[in-house]
Every structure is written in structure tokens, then in C-alpha cells.
Amino acid sequence: MRQAVRGELGAATESINERIPGADAIRLEVNDLKANILCFPEANENFPETYTQKQNRLMGLLDGSAKNPALQEVFF
């Protein structure tokens, strides 16, 4: 999120005014966003990280598609 905000703002110096459909207008003051923020990734042990784990997860999906018509359509 930090990179997204910095990338979107770039070298902006003016305030940003946006209107969201179904809501009030939003005014974002660029100067108010200057801060020292630290970001840390969220760890999830169920997320495959190694090549073998990813390959096993994909093979499990392919094997399971034999019993699931919706998955068959996605893969084929």
C-alpha cells in the first residue's frame, strides 16, 4: 500500500479532489501524507513458497478437476 500511494502521488504538490459515486467528495491533502511509515508483510503458512509446493498445489487442482465440472471448464 505504501508503494501504491507513493507511486500514485509521485511528485504531486497540490491537494487531490475526487468524487466517489454514491458518496461525498474526498479531498486529500498531499502534504498531510508525509510521514515515516513502516510496512511489514503478513505471514501465512498455507501460502506455497517453494517451486515444489506450488507444483504440488497445481497438481492437486488438476487432479480435483476430474470431479468438478466447473474446474474442468476453467482448465480446458
What's the pLDDT tens digit per position in 2-39? 677 666 666 666 777 778 788 888 887 777 766 676 77
* Distance separating alpha carbons of residues 13 and 31, to the nearest angstrom: 7
pTM of the predicted model as reported, rounded to 2 decimal places? 0.36
* Distance separating alpha carbons of residues 69 and 7, to the nearest angstrom: 42
Name every residue whose Cβ is closer than 8 Å to that of residue 57 and which is 6 or more positions away in sequence.
48
Decide which of 38 and 53 is more confident.
Answer: 53
